């Protein structure tokens, strides 16, 4: 059997990733993350530069073409490009008695996903990664569900009981400091994009900025304003308003929480069914893409709730709009992996 270029690349990747990780005892705190990336980049640089000097390898496996083997390595060398593969997730619906539950994992059949080595982080690793951070999530009920899934990864069940009660007080802000982890978390109720713009301006005025800022809004606008052109314009304004935050001293990591896929037949009021049509959804989606909001043209990394919810499917929602925790959990893990990648890039 021939050893494919991909397998070889992955093998090399596994060695350079796993060896330093094993040495460091598999923890992901900031300093250790920096250590990993140092080890990773050095090993890869060595691998990439030495590979031409091992012709014997290609002789031995004539299948290995140098161009495809180096493309796998380049993906890893430039970890930032891994961010674009983070949404390659597959879903599974499990029948459980008469009910269904869903789970997800990254598509390991995809060579890029495999090479990027994404991780579902456990409680201790999340605590380590976010230690000393200020995380702010601002938006509507989608943002609140995202916070819930994030806290689910940080807190233990007894602590979650109290949080659930507080967080779901209707339309209010929520502030939490978790001393154990040194994590400060703010949820800011901001149903409209202009609420987000005000928040960005206030952060700027205050000269204080969270380390991680997650924003997202659209459903309220779709329901109550129902004008995609206006939505697009308000997103452009938001995009300009967050720009000054990025040139400040503490540059936040910015994430945009996309709108979910709406399942029209399941929407629970007449007003929603009338206004939230698939044509409107499509127009609002174009607005987000046109507004220079998302990378690479704009400041935010997309957490694509639309594709995650669509792929989880209608079994994952009861009202066609708010999805089961597992959808937002996937988005949280995507964000955490993007943070890992971005902090490595800062080296």
Ligand X SMILES: *[C@@H]1O[C@H](CO)[C@@H](O)[C@H](O)[C@H]1NC(C)=O
- Contact residue for ligand X among 67, 97, 109, 265 (CB under 6 A): 97
88 vs 240 by CB, closer to ligand X: 240
Q: Is residue 111 within the footprint of ligand X (CB under 6 A)?
A: no
Task: Give Cβ neighbours of residue 17 (< 8 Å, ≥ 6 apart).
Answer: 36, 40, 117
Query: Strand 89-96 relative to strand 134-139: parallel, antiparallel, unpaired?
Result: unpaired
107 vs 225 by CB, closer to ligand X: 225
Q: Is residue 194 within the footprint of ligand X (CB under 6 A)?
A: yes
Write the DSSP symbol of residue 298: S
- Contact residue for ligand X among 117, 128, 304, 310 (CB under 6 A): 128
Q: Is residue 195 within the footprint of ligand X (CB under 6 A)?
A: yes
Number of residues interacting with ligand X: please give it, by CB under 6 A. 21
| Segment 155 to 184, residues that bind ligand X, using CB under 6 A | 181-182
Cβ-contact 137, 147 below 8 angstroms: yes
CB of 190 to ligand X, least distance (A): 6
- Contact residue for ligand X among 2, 206, 247, 270 (CB under 6 A): 206
The rounded distance, in Å, linking the Cα atoms of 82 and 89 is 13
Q: Is residue 138 within the footprint of ligand X (CB under 6 A)?
A: no
Contact flags string 232-261 toward ligand X, x per CB under 6 A: -x----------------------------
Tokens of 255: 């994430």
Treating both helix axes as pointing N-terminal to C-terminal, what angle do 228-247 and 193-206 enclose, rounded to 10 degrees? Answer: 20
CB of 196 to ligand X, least distance (A): 9
Coil/strand/helix, residue 54: coil
- Contact residue for ligand X among 230, 264, 292, 346 (CB under 6 A): 230
Q: Is 12 exposed, middle or buried (0-12, 13-18, 19+ CB in 10 A)?
A: buried
- Contact residue for ligand X among 66, 131, 250, 269 (CB under 6 A): 131
Q: Is residue 31 within the footprint of ligand X (CB under 6 A)?
A: no
| Segment 61 to 90, residues that bind ligand X, using CB under 6 A | none
CB atoms within 10 A of CB 90: 14
Tokens of 144: 């609140």
86 vs 136 by CB, closer to ligand X: 136
Q: Is 2 exposed, middle or buried (0-12, 13-18, 19+ CB in 10 A)?
A: exposed
Tokens of 145: 């569900």
CB of 180 to ligand X, least distance (A): 6
Q: CA of 297: how far to CAs of 86, 142, 255, in Å?
A: 18, 24, 14
Instruction: Find, among 113, 114, 45, 82, the residue nearest to 339 by Cα.
Output: 82
49 vs 205 by CB, closer to ligand X: 205
Cβ-contact 173, 189 below 8 angstroms: yes
128 vs 329 by CB, closer to ligand X: 128
Supply the DSSP string of 189-201, one letter for each residue.
E--SHHHHHHHHH
- Contact residue for ligand X among 56, 67, 99, 109 (CB under 6 A): 99
Q: Is residue 196 within the footprint of ligand X (CB under 6 A)?
A: no
65 vs 175 by CB, closer to ligand X: 175
29 vs 68 by CB, closer to ligand X: 29
Return the range that interacts with ligand X (CB under 6 A); candidates 17-25, 64-72, 227-235, 302-310.
Answer: 227-235
CB atoms within 10 A of CB 249: 6
Query: Strand 253-257 relative to strand 301-303: parallel, antiparallel, unpaired?
Result: parallel
92 vs 224 by CB, closer to ligand X: 224
Write the DSSP symbol of residue 324: P
Residues at the interface with ligand X (CB under 6 A): 97, 99, 127-128, 131-132, 181-182, 189, 192, 194-195, 199, 202-203, 206, 208, 227, 229-230, 233
């Amino acid at each position: 059997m021939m050893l494919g270029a991909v397998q070889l690349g992955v093998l090399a990747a596994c060695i350079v990733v796993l060896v330093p990780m094993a040495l460091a005892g598999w923890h992901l705190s900031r300093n250790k993350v920096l250590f990993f990336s140092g080890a990773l980049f050095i090993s890869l640089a060595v691998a990439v530069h030495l590979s031409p000097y091992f012709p014997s390898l290609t002789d031995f496996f004539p299948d290995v073409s140098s161009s495809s083997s180096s493309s796998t390595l380049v993906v890893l060398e430039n970890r930032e490009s891994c961010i674009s593969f983070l949404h390659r997730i597959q879903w599974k619906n499990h029948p459980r008695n008469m009910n269904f539950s869903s789970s997800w994992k990254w598509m390991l059949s995809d060579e890029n996903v495999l090479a990027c080595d994404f991780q579902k982080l456990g409680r201790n690793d999340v605590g380590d990664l976010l230690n000393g951070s200020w995380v702010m999530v601002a938006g509507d009920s989608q943002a609140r569900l995202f916070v819930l899934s994030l806290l689910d990864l940080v807190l233990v069940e007894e602590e979650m009981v109290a949080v659930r009660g507080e967080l779901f007080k209707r339309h209010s802000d929520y502030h939490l400091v978790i001393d154990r982890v040194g994590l400060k978390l703010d949820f800011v109720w901001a149903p409209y994009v202009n609420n987000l713009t005000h928040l960005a301006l206030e952060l700027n005025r205050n000269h204080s900025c969270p380390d991680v800022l997650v924003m997202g809004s659209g459903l309220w606008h779709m329901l109550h304003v129902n004008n995609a052109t206006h939505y697009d314009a308000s997103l452009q304004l938001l995009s300009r308003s967050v720009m000054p935050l990025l040139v400040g001293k503490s540059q936040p990591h910015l994430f945009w929480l996309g709108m979910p896929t709406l399942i029209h037949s399941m929407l629970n009021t007449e007003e929603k069914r009338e206004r939230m049509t698939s044509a409107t959804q499509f127009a609002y989606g174009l607005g987000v893409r046109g507004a220079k909001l998302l990378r690479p043209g704009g400041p935010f990394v997309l957490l694509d709730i639309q594709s995650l919810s669509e792929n989880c499917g209608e079994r994952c929602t009861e009202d066609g709009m708010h999805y089961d925790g597992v959808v937002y959990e996937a988005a949280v893990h995507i964000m955490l992996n993007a943070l890992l990648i971005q902090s490595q890039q800062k080296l």
